[in-house]
Chains A and B, each alone.
Chain A
Amino acid sequence: MKVGIVVFPGSNCDHDAWYAVSENLHQRAEFIWHDSASLGDVDAVILPGGFSYGDYLRCGAIAKFSPVMRAVKDFARQGGPVLGICNGFQVLTEAGLLPGALVRNANLKFVCRTVPLQIVTTHSPFTHQAAPGQRLSLPVAHGEGCYIADDSTLNQLEAEDRVVLRYLDNPNGSMRDIAGILNADRNVMGMMPHPERAADTLVGSTDGLAILSSLLDVAVKAQALAS
Chain B
Amino acid sequence: MSAITPEVIAAHQLTAPEYEKIVSLLGREPTFTELGIFSVMWSEHCSYKSSRVHLKKLPTESKRVLQGPGENAGIIDIGDGIAIAFKIESHNHPSFIEPFQGAATGVGGILRDIFTMGARPIAVMDSIRFGRLDDEKTGPRNRRILEGVVSGIAHYGNCFGVPTVGGECVFEESYDGNPLVNVFALGVARHDEIFYGKASGIGNPVIYVGAKTGRDGIHGASMASAEFTEQSKQKRPNVQVGDPFLEKLLLEACLEAMQTGAIVGIQDMGAAGLTSSTCEMGSRAGTGIEIDLQHVPQRETGMTPYEMMLSESQERMLLVAQSGREHEVFAAFKKWGLDAVQIGVVTGDGLLRVKNHGEVFAEIPNRALADEAPRYHRPYTKPLRTAPSHAPRVASKNLAADLKALLASGDICSKRWIWEQYDYQVRTNTLVGPGSDAAIVRIKGTNTSIAMSLDGNGRYCALDPRQGAKLIVAECCRNLSTMGALPIATTNNLNFGNPERPEIMAQLVECIEGLAEACRFFDVPVTGGNVSLYNETLGAAIVPTPVVGIVGMLNTAPPVANVFGQPGLPIILLGGLRDADWAEFGGTQYAKIILNSLWGTPPKLDMDYEKRVQATVRELVRECVVESAHDLGDGGLAVALAECSFGPSDVGANITLDSDLPPELLLFHEGPSRILISTPTPEKVFAAARKNNVQAIHIGVTLESRVAIRNRNQILIDSPVAELKDSWTNALEHLLQNLVPV
Contacts and interface: CB of A to CB of B under 8 A. Distances in A.
A12 B161 contact: yes
B421 A10 contact: no
Interface in A50-89: 50-51, 53-56
B422 A13 contact: no
Contacts of A13: 161, 426
Given A112-B421, A201-B558, A12 B428 contact: no
Given A19-B428, A203-B431, 17 more contacts: A9-B337, A10-B245, A16-B426, A16-B428, A23-B444, A49-B426, A50-B161, A51-B161, A51-B245, A54-B244, A54-B245, A110-B158, A111-B420, A112-B420, A112-B421, A141-B423, A202-B558
A104 to B, nearest CB: 13
18 contacts: A9-B248, A10-B245, A12-B161, A12-B426, A13-B161, A16-B428, A19-B428, A20-B428, A49-B426, A51-B161, A51-B248, A112-B423, A141-B158, A141-B426, A203-B425, A203-B431, A203-B442, A204-B425
B377 to A, nearest CB: 47
Interface of A: 9-10, 12-13, 15-16, 19-20, 23, 49-51, 53-56, 109-113, 139, 141, 143, 194, 196-197, 199-204
A9 B423 contact: no
Interface string B230-269: 0000000000000111101100000000000000000000
Nearest to A13: B426
A202 B431 contact: yes
B556 interface: yes
Contact of A12 (B248, B336, B442, B558): B248
Contact of B243 (A12, A54, A196): A54
A10 B431 contact: no
A183 B182 CA distance: 46
A179 to B, nearest CB: 17
Contacts of B429: 203
Contacts of A141: 158, 423, 425-426
Nearest to B337: A9
Contacts of A51: 158-159, 161, 244-245, 248
A202 B158 contact: no
Interface in B325-365: 336-337
B159 A202 contact: no
B428 A112 contact: no
B154 A110 contact: yes
Contact of A112 (B159, B337, B424, B556): B424
A54 B159 contact: yes
A54 to B, nearest CB: 3
Contact of B428 (A53, A55, A196): A196
Contacts of A12: 159-161, 248, 426
A142 to B, nearest CB: 9
A51 B159 CA distance: 6
Nearest to B154: A110
Contacts of A113: 420
Contact of B159 (A10, A19, A20, A197): A10
B435 to A, nearest CB: 12
Interface string B428-446: 1111000000000010100
A85 to B, nearest CB: 12
B420 A143 contact: no
Interface residues of B, number: 32
A16 B420 CA distance: 20
Contacts of A203: 425, 428-431, 442
A13 B161 CA distance: 8
Contacts of A15: 427
Contacts, number: 84
Contacts of A199: 428
B558 A10 contact: no
Contacts of A19: 428, 444
A10 B249 CA distance: 7
Contacts of A202: 431, 442, 556-558
A68 to B, nearest CB: 14
A55 B245 CA distance: 9
B121 to A, nearest CB: 11
A26 to B, nearest CB: 15
Contacts of B419: 112
A179 B411 CA distance: 35
A19 B429 CA distance: 11
A82 to B, nearest CB: 22
Contacts of A20: 428
A73 to B, nearest CB: 23
A53 B243 CA distance: 11
Contacts of A111: 420-421
Contacts of B159: 10, 12, 51, 54-55
Nearest to A11: B161
B425 A56 contact: no
B152 to A, nearest CB: 12
Interface in B686-703: none
A109 B158 CA distance: 12
Which of A16, A194, A200, A203 is most buried by chain B, counting CB atoms within 10 A of its CB?
A: A203
Contacts of A16: 426-428
Nearest to A24: B428
A10 B248 contact: yes
A204 B244 CA distance: 28
A17 to B, nearest CB: 9
Contacts of A197: 425, 428
A-B complex: 6 closest residue pairs judged by Cβ atoms? A12-B161, A54-B245, A51-B159, A141-B423, A16-B428, A110-B421
A44 to B, nearest CB: 20
A112 B425 contact: yes
A49 B427 CA distance: 11
A139 B425 contact: yes
A200 B713 CA distance: 48
Contacts of B243: 54
Contacts of B249: 9-10
A54 B159 CA distance: 7
A50 B245 CA distance: 10
Contacts of B431: 202-203
Which of B336, B427, B428, B558 is most buried by chain A, counting CB atoms within 10 A of its CB?
A: B428
A49 B159 CA distance: 10
A9 B256 CA distance: 14
A139 B428 CA distance: 11
Contacts of A201: 558
A67 to B, nearest CB: 14
Contacts of A112: 419-425
A102 to B, nearest CB: 16
A183 B430 CA distance: 33
B451 to A, nearest CB: 14
A23 B336 CA distance: 27
B577 to A, nearest CB: 36
A51 B155 CA distance: 11
Contacts of A9: 245, 248-249, 336-337
Contacts of B428: 16, 19-20, 196-197, 199-200, 203
Contacts of B154: 110
Contacts of B425: 112, 139, 141, 194, 197, 203-204
A1 B154 CA distance: 37
Nearest to A51: B159
Contacts of B244: 51, 54
A117 B290 CA distance: 60
A63 to B, nearest CB: 12
Which of A9, A112, A139, A200 is most buried by chain B, counting CB atoms within 10 A of its CB?
A: A112
Given A9-B336, A9-B337, A53 B158 contact: no
A113 to B, nearest CB: 6
Which of B426, B429, B558 is most buried by chain A, counting CB atoms within 10 A of its CB?
A: B426
B245 A53 contact: yes
Interface in B541-563: 556-558
Contacts of A10: 159, 245, 248-249
A109 B420 CA distance: 9
